[in-house]
Homo-oligomer: A and B are copies of this chain.
Amino acid sequence: MPISIKDVAAKAGVSPSTVSRVLANNPRISPETSERVRMVLKELNYHPNEIARSLVRQETRTLGLILPNAIDQFFLNPFFPEVLRGISQAARKLGYDLFLSTASQGLNDVERLDQMVQSKRVDGVILLTVKLDDPLLKRVQDNHVPAVLIGRSPDQAMVSSINNDNKKAGYDATMHLLKLGHQHIGFIGGSPELILTIDRLSGYAQALNDANVPFDPQLVTSEEFLEEGGYTGMMKLLALPTRPSAIIASDDVLAFGAMRAAGELGYHIPQDLAIVGFNDIPLAKIANPPLTTMNVHIFELGEGAATMLIDQIANGSITPTKTQIVPHNLIVRRSCGAWNPTNNLVSHLS
């Protein structure tokens, strides 16, 4: 049986409340008692029961992560550890722990949110994906749950969010290929329900439009958010009567699947086919050829999300929703055919 505050109190010859006050650094406590209590604290190696503390304080100093229900897919994408690294760094700095709800996977998103929040095990939640018209957002708004979305909310007033300007990012990536002279550019995206996909695709379409290149729906494919999805998408695109000469993959993992498909069919990258991905995962740099990709600063997304959330928790959710945009920048490597040796970007293994 672990030692409680009463044990400490007894041993120090004071009341539990006094111990509690010492723990809280309450100023109106005599230096002597404080000292004496602290001795006992150390001696007994006392650590407060945070559960009891949470119950009375009505706060847990814990952030909940609402992972997509395709949790396995999510873990497999290098996006995950990187965003978690950002979240955890900010959480650590601000004195918060992290809670991952895995138990309630049978439930739908809204039920999982309700459970996590009403079970009072977390003070707020970070949402990691949204679909179009996601009921999650409305629920968050209705229940005044402190929450930050990593991604874009269709209605910004509903929930605070941190995101890239994905439309612009899609635009920039596409424009890069257009400027290299490509006229047939394929787009391999994740689920068409994901706002991420929608935004990047719309940037792609906008760029084509601005360059007076016709938008061809056949050149757009939506696949599972896995390496295998990229592979399948690429196979479809290469089977078209008029093959694309360049590909935008809305995620590096998709890009690698696409590269694998191209490689198997004997295409050379970038000579036969230019490829641009998104995320700048570690693999992008050391792949062969190194992948040109849009760096979306995943770490900062996580860090910012946690910071915003904790801020929201501290200030009560009365504060208006905020929207923060993390900048993106294209990392030009070899896969798009525009690589310039003076960049001194990784050149080994080639």
Chain A interface residues toward B at CB < 8 A: 2, 45-52, 54-55, 60-62, 71-72, 75-76, 78, 80-82, 84-85, 88-89, 91-92, 95-103, 105, 114-115, 118-121, 227, 256, 259-260, 263-264, 282-283, 286-288, 346, 348-350
Q: Which residues of B have CB within 8 Å of A48? A: 118-119
Interface centre among A47, A61, A102 (most CB of B within 10 A): A102
Would you give 27 A-B contacts (Cβ < 8 Å), ordered by A?
A: A2-B118, A2-B120, A48-B118, A49-B120, A50-B121, A51-B51, A51-B60, A55-B55, A71-B88, A72-B85, A72-B89, A75-B85, A75-B88, A76-B282, A88-B100, A91-B103, A92-B103, A92-B105, A97-B99, A97-B100, A98-B99, A99-B100, A259-B348, A264-B348, A282-B283, A283-B283, A288-B350
Closest to A46 in B: B118
Q: Which residues of B have CB within 8 Å of A51? A: 51, 54-55, 60, 119-121
Complex Cα distance A346/B115, Å? 44
Complex Cα distance A82/B80, Å? 11
9 A-B pairs closest in CB distance: A263-B348, A288-B288, A47-B118, A50-B119, A92-B102, A75-B85, A98-B100, A263-B349, A88-B102
Task: Say how far A51's CB is from chain B's closest CB, in angstroms.
Answer: 5
Q: Which residues of B have CB within 8 Å of A54? A: 51
